[in-house]
Amino acid sequence: MKTTFAIISFLFLTFIATPASAQKADKAAIDKFISAQATREHGEEYPDARKVVTGDLDGGSDAETVVLYTIEGQNGSNNHIQYLAVFKRANGALVVLTHTSVGSKSYRDAELDSVSNRLINLTTMSFAKNDPACCPTLKGKTWYKLALGRLVAVKSPK
């Protein structure tokens, strides 16, 4: 009975607890990267807007982690900029590969949908000619691919 309990406990700790600690480490790596960028921009992340998805961007055996995040209040302004960052697993830990801006207060709003067919899929809201700065009305789609270690906008997912 004690042996069975020990085996069950070991299996629980190995297969159940480990993913939670890995998720915690992944979140910490993402938090650290975004926090450093926010500090450089003299702004702060709007944490409720963060979205994380995983998927294959480079055809490798491990999925990349894609993060859409927003930094706002740069230098006391009411601006905000949305970024996409791509992280890859190296020696068991997430490390950033690249990042780029994909939206801002006066440009467009972006929503991270998924990663499929080696593309990052975003739904966007852009500004029509008479839209106020608060409220873009033109719904669209855009895609990004990982090319030579950088994120590149793609016109169509053909």
* Cβ atoms 95, 114 nearer than 8 A: no
pLDDT digits (tens, 9 = 90+) for 71-129: 999 999 999 999 999 999 999 899 999 999 999 988 999 999 999 999 999 999 999 99
Residue 153: how many CB atoms within 10 A of its CB?
A: 12
What is the number of alpha carbons within 13 Å of residue 144 lying toward its C-beta? 29
What per-residue confidence (pLDDT) applies to 60?
Answer: 86
DSSP single-letter state for residue 130: T
* Cβ atoms 49, 112 nearer than 8 A: no
Residue 139 has pLDDT above 80, yes or no: yes
* pTM for the model: 0.84
**Which stretch of DSSP H or E encloses residue 6?**
helix 2-12
pLDDT digits (tens, 9 = 90+) for 9-49: 444 444 444 578 888 999 999 999 999 999 999 999 999 99
DSSP notation for 32-51: HHHHHHHHHTT-EE-GGG-E
Distances in whole angstroms, Cα of residue 61 to Cα of each of 15, 107, 152:
21, 35, 21
